[in-house]
A and B are shown apart, each in its own frame.
Chain A
């Protein structure tokens, strides 16, 4: 079946612009996670959605970052007024709590 998909695969934007990153999880997965990974670094947790519960936003690095998940499926991560330090690969994963997380291919964001 189809895995987790993300779009765009690459995004180059100018400093100060807003960007939206999209994640399509595997159908039926109640949990959805966003991570950020800088080059050669580990997985930095950003936000977690579980079913209809309020999302866990504890990992968002600043109020420029926000995310939503519509209808318990597709999620978008929005970064406002992008900064150069936002450049990274943004990974989305879906799954069931305490079971395997299936990762998407990621969106590589470059802020110039």
Chain B
């Protein structure tokens, strides 16, 4: 069946450095790829998304890239700050407009 693999499961970076989280998906018909951030004890919230007609999208310090041929997409966070510490989930849509979710990446920003 369809699935989304997310790596790494935990990522620790020095404050100010960049962080990259990668996801691969299996359904070639997927067209929508969101990223959600979940801070400890809070609900997941959308931080950025990309659709298949675009290869890259940026919003201030965050960016997402999509390679449809290779079926992978990545989240890039530059100049990381303590408030970036959270669990990040990627997802991809499939046939009935649902989302398949990655397992999550715990991002730790070291001071």
- Please list the residues of chain A having a beta carbon within 8 angstroms of any beta carbon in chain B: 31, 33, 41-43, 45, 48, 50, 56, 91, 97-98, 100-101, 103-106
Distance in Å: Cβ of A88 to nearest Cβ of chain B: 14
Rounded to whole angstroms, the CA-CA distance of A50 and B101 in the bound complex is 18
Distance in Å: Cβ of A79 to nearest Cβ of chain B: 20
Residues from chain A with a CB closer than 8 A to the CB of B31 are 98
Asked if residues B46 and A45 are in contact (CB atoms below 8 Å), the reply is no
Give the residue among A43, A48, A50 with the most B Cβ atoms within 10 A. A43
B95-111, CB under 8 A of A: which get 1 and which 0?
A: 01111011110000000
Residues from chain A with a CB closer than 8 A to the CB of B43 are 91, 103-106
Categorize the interface residue count of chain B. 10 to 19
With A31-B97, A56-B98, A91-B43: A42-B34 Cβ-Cβ less than 8 Å: no
Residues from chain A with a CB closer than 8 A to the CB of B49 are 100
